[in-house]
Structures are given as structure tokens and as C-alpha cells.
Structure 1
Amino acid sequence: MTTGPRWGMTIPFYDRSLAASRDLIAELPGLGYTDAWSAEVNGVDGFVPLAMASEWAPQMRLGSAIVPVSTRGPGLLAMSAATLADLAPERFVLGIGASSPAIVERWNAGEFVKPFARTRDTLRFLRKALAGEKVGERYETFEVKGFKLERAPKIPPKIVLAALRPRMLRLAAEEADGAITNWLSPGDVRKVRAEVGEETELIARLFVCVSEDAAKVRELGRWMLASYLTVPVYAAFHDWLGRGEVLRPMHEAWAAGDRQAALKAIPDEVVDELIVHGDAATCRARIREYVRNGLNTPILAPIPGGEVPIAQAVRDLAPVEE
């Protein structure tokens, strides 16, 4: 079992449905994983996998990383969180965030307006609603009139924020219970940690490919990085982290519609910084480097493409004393 930092896993797994993930999710606690975290993009939603995992792996802490604040109404978000808090008392962590224009507007017919303010307002509303208060309040980005949970959780869940840059990171430290970040290197952790202080839980999803074929991993990694780092919030994040110039050729080619040139413009060292790869021992050592630099909760996301099947990678990446 792990001693010290938490050691999380993304559920369900990339190579199978939620229904087909049951046995492997149930295996996680025995392997030493402490946490199971969902995601919500265009696959499963953020809550159902956690509801199922609350039964399949009742020892684990469960978290959403993340559910967007602009694809559900505030009241519905509170109801979903209250349901999970009831199923997994003191084990559920609600991760919320601004998300992106593509997810909010193009896919969900919402409005991606004032993302910082909307996240802050939702956090403040949820604090009151999940504590069982009747909320009637005009916030900067929405107004709630007389909402009260029919059955508030006995113990309100912790709330953590998706945060990439100083303003949101400071909000997470000052008003939430932690910060979730993404697509960063072990060295980047120090810069992010400096914004939230030493007491704030810092959580990050780490994409891992158990493979010694570096060329194959880099080819796969370039596609993943291009799809993420061209999103404005991630582009700004990496500008802040200091990769603005090295990623400029990728951004220029992408903006010109030349996808192949954009992929070729991503240097090997950037892929190697942002995707954990190698044999299982090398990957575990890399993950522990993140932890040494200030990450409290790594959330592993084993990706297909390596020589090792996902199920075996999950087992091989489990925390061990080394």
C-alpha cells in the first residue's frame, strides 16, 4: 500500500466502457490506489462512474476532475453533488471548473462567459447549498431564487477547482479545498505550488503510456498535445509556464489550418516533459518526481498505444516502495 501521498486513477479506463471497468475498479484499493477520479469531456459524465465506484470500491476517495460550471444549472450541480456525498460520505470531492468554449458552447449550447467569475460564483453558491442553506442571491454571473436542497448531505463534500493560472489558483487556495491542474511537467509543479501555498491540496491528472518505444509515444503524444494546447486556456497556461516561444510554431501552423505541420512543430522534449512514458518502473519514478516537487494527488490516466495493455499498466503503475 502507498504511504504518504495519495495515488489516484482515472475511471473508467480508456480502453473499455464503464460497465466493463467494474472488476478493474474493484481491484484498485488492493493495488494501493487511494483515489478514483472521473472526467467529463465527450465520453462518460462526471458523476455516474463515481456513483458506481462508491459500490465497487467502497474504500476509495472519489472525485470529479472536473465537471463544468456552465453545462448544468447551479441547483442541478448541487443535487448531483449531494447525491454523491450521500453515497460516499466524507469520500467524495467535487471538482468543478470553467471548462472550454468548445465543450460549453459548441457541444452543450451554453454560454462561456466570464469563466473566472462563473466558477467563483458557483463555488460560493455550492458552499451554501451543500451546507443545507436556502439560497436566494444575485451573483455576478447568475441569480438563484430560493433554492434549498431537499436532502442536504450530513457532511458537505470538499470542493476543488480546476485552475491553471495565478488568479484561479489563488481562488482555489483562498475559497476552495484544493486545486486541480493538468498538462504540466514535474518542474512546472513548483511554479503552480508557489501560487497556492503549502497547505492547499494540489491535484493533477498525469497521462501515462507504459512503453519503451519513445518514437511511438511521441507520435501519439503530439496528437494529444496539439488538441489540448491549442485551446486558449491551455495556450495561456503554457505561456505562463514559459513554453510560449517553443510552442509558437505549433500555434501558427494550427491557426493556418496545417495540422501536420503543427504536429511536427512540437519538440520531442515537450512531449517528454508532459507525458509520462517508459517502462513501469521509469513511469513510477517520474510520478514520484511530481510528488517530490509538491503534487499531493497524482491522478494517473494510462493511455493506449504502449506494449502493455491498459489493465496490466494499471497494475504495474500501482504504488510500491522502491
Structure 2
Amino acid sequence: MTIPFYDRSLAGSRELVEELPGLGYTDVWSAEVSGVDGFVPLALAAQWAPQVRLGTAIVPVSTRGPGLLAMSAATLADLAPGRFVLGIGASSPAIVERWNAGEFVKPYARTRDTLRFLRKALAGEKVSEAYETFQVKGFKLERAPEIPPKIVLAALRPRMLRLAAAEADGAITNWLSPQDVRKVRAEVGAETELIARLFVCVSEDVDKVRERARWMLASYLTVPVYAAFHEWLGRGEALRPMQEAWAAGDRQGALKAIPDEVVDDLVVHGDAATCRARVREYVANGLTTPVLAPIPGGEVPIAQAVRDLAPGEA
């Protein structure tokens, strides 16, 4: 499950987070865009639901220095020994440059270098090394975690997916259909943990769901890395009218240009039983860890959707 929930603050999420283990949820995963940061929700969840695995999906590698990223990860690993997974990724120019005054350069290399640095730092080693994208001199955690966290990479295309399989402990992806999972799985092999956030709306009002989902899809699939991802997945032609309208400043035209089939491919919706069946399709096609993100807009409130979508339900 993704935390915090769309319809409430982090402070107001405690009771629902406490319910998650009893409902059969095994993991809680945060995100980091322009709302809460990636670490604080998990620090709270470590106390509210001490049975579950905790993961960041994802924290960018270019909005924190390498040492600070290691310190934050070590703190979570200390709070939840053996239960914390650090998800890192390149992020996007908007988040890194426009919002955080950083530099979005060589995203593949920066992610690879950060992964290699974190492996050493979180194992308690003193790191002095010149990487391709940064240099670290004499960094050593004052308190390295007894159990270093697993590290997984946000990966959308073959090169990063292969890096995740070769050097990390898993790959995180986003905005894909059950059928797309097979193509992604082929790049990482059978043994790599494959994680994906699945946006779910428990609602049988198809028109209302599609209206909301189009805004979400347009905001993501116009980002160059996601446009390239869906080009690779085979949706380039289907999405081109939307991308052209968006680039021209025609937001309404862009929304209307997204085919219904694309919305239905990428957003799980229907009654709870239909949604659970759809999630099982992802798993059957090779997804290891589906991370649900219930979105508002349906007739079922988020809290009830969380309960109705629970793995323990029939």
C-alpha cells in the first residue's frame, strides 16, 4: 500500500496504517514528488505497523548529497531492521532542477554511481572515491545499520532495468499494464524483484474514473522519460496526439486525445472484486510486488477501498 493516502494528511493516516497488517498488506511504500518526503512517513509507519516491510518509491539521487542519502537510509534501517528497502531513481528535470535547484545530468550514471556508493556506505565502509558524476572523500557513517537495507532502482527502460538486475536488489516501475509486465520482466530476468505502483479507483462509474485518470496520465506521460517508456512499450502512436496537444499548451485537447483503451490499460478500476482480479493479472504476468495507490473519485471512500482491496479479501 502507498502512504500517506490521497484523501488525508500523514498525521491523519495513523489509524488506517495500523489496520494494514490485519488486512493482509505486507508492505507500505512512500513516494517523493512535491508532497511529503520519502522517509518521514516510513519512520512513522515503522512504529504504527511494525510488522510490514517499508520502502521508498522513490527518492531521487540528485536532490540530496550522497552522504545525506546514506544517513537517511541508515536511520530507517535502524528503525526497522531487515524491513526497509531503499528505492532510488533518477527522477525528472522538473523535480531535480526546477523545484530543487539541482542538476539533472547523466541520470543513468548518477543513479549507478549512487547505488555503488550506498552499497559501501551502508555496509559501514569509509568511502573515498571519484565516481563519474560525483566525488566523495572520507565519508563514513557514524552508525552503520546492523542490517544494510536492500536497494532497488526506479527503472523504465532496458539499460536501467538491466542495471537493477545486475547490481541492485530489484527494480521499481510505474504506469504499465499487466501485459507490459512481461516485457519489463524479460529485461530483469526471473529472479529479480519487480515492484510497481498500481493506481486503483474502486468505482463502476467508468466515465468519472476516466476523467480523473486522464489528468494523472497527462501529467506523467508528457514527461520525457515516461514518453520514452511508453514508446518502448508500443504506445508511441496512441499517445502522440496527447503529447503534441500538451506541448502546444492545449491541455483540454491533450486530455481528450488519450484513448479510453490507454486509460483502462494503465489504471485499475471497477468494483473491488474486479480490481483485485486485475491486480492478480499483474502478478500472473511477472510482477513480484504490486504497490496499490487507491485514488479518490469513485463512490467508495479511500479507507473503504483500502479494506475492500485487501489481499485477505475473497
Q: Tell me if both proteins adopt one fold, taking TM over 0.5 as the criterion.
A: yes
Residues 1:41 and 2:33 are matched in the alignment? yes
- Distance, in Å, in 2 between the alignment partners of 1:215 and 1:304 is 14
Unaligned ranges ≥5, structure 2: none
Partner of 2:254: 262
Q: Aligned AA for 1:116? A: Y
1:281-300 equivalence runs, <5 A: 281-300=273-292
Q: Aligned AA for 2:252? A: Q
Deviation at 1:60, TM superposition (A): 0.2
Residues 1:87 and 2:44 are matched in the alignment? no
1:51-200 equivalence runs, <5 A: 51-200=43-192
Residues 1:237 and 2:229 are matched in the alignment? yes
- Distance, in Å, in 1 between the alignment partners of 2:205 and 2:95 is 33
Q: Deviations over 1:158-181 (max 9, x none)?
A: 000000000000000000000000
- Distance, in Å, in 1 between the alignment partners of 2:187 and 2:27 is 24
Deviation at 1:255, TM superposition (A): 1.0
Residues 1:215 and 2:207 are matched in the alignment? yes
Partner of 2:17: 25
Secondary structure (helix, strand or coil) at the match of 2:241 reads: helix
Deviation at 1:321, TM superposition (A): 6.1
- Distance, in Å, in 2 between the alignment partners of 1:72 and 1:134 is 19
Q: Deviations over 1:38-71 (max 9, x none)?
A: 0000000000000000000000000000000000
What percent identity do the matched residue pairs reach? 89
Q: Aligned AA for 1:104? A: V
Q: Deviations over 1:237-293 (max 9, x none)?
A: 000000000111111111111111111000000000000000000000000000000
- Distance, in Å, in 2 between the alignment partners of 1:246 and 1:108 is 33
Partner of 2:238: 246
Q: Deviations over 1:135-159 (max 9, x none)?
A: 0000000000000000000110000
- Distance, in Å, in 2 between the alignment partners of 1:52 and 1:319 is 23
Secondary structure (helix, strand or coil) at the match of 1:109 reads: coil
Q: Aligned AA for 1:158? A: K
Q: Aligned AA for 2:139? A: F
Secondary structure (helix, strand or coil) at the match of 2:4 reads: coil
Secondary structure (helix, strand or coil) at the match of 2:6 reads: coil
Q: Deviations over 1:96-134 (max 9, x none)?
A: 000000000000000000000000000000000000000
Q: Relative to 1, partners in 2 of residues 1:68 and 1:191: Cα closer, same or farther, differing over 3 Å? A: same
Q: TM-score, normalised by structure 1?
A: 0.97
Unaligned ranges ≥5, structure 1: 1-8
Secondary structure (helix, strand or coil) at the match of 2:96 reads: helix
The runs of 4+ residues in structure 1 deviating greater than 2 Å are: none
Secondary structure (helix, strand or coil) at the match of 2:191 reads: coil
- Distance, in Å, in 2 between the alignment partners of 1:142 and 1:219 is 43
Secondary structure (helix, strand or coil) at the match of 1:10 reads: coil
- Distance, in Å, in 2 between the alignment partners of 1:249 and 1:91 is 44
Residues 1:309 and 2:292 are matched in the alignment? no
Deviation at 1:35, TM superposition (A): 0.1
Deviation at 1:11, TM superposition (A): 0.4
Aligned length, in residue pairs: 314
* Worse-superposed segment, 134-143 or 250-259: 250-259
- Distance, in Å, in 1 between the alignment partners of 2:171 and 2:30 is 15
Secondary structure (helix, strand or coil) at the match of 1:90 reads: coil
- Distance, in Å, in 2 between the alignment partners of 1:139 and 1:308 is 50
1:6-17 equivalence runs, <5 A: 9-17=1-9
Deviation at 1:320, TM superposition (A): 3.2
Q: TM-score, normalised by structure 2?
A: 0.99
Q: Aligned AA for 1:242? A: G
Partner of 1:6: none
* Worse-superposed segment, 125-134 or 246-255: 246-255
Secondary structure (helix, strand or coil) at the match of 1:27 reads: helix
Secondary structure (helix, strand or coil) at the match of 1:63 reads: strand
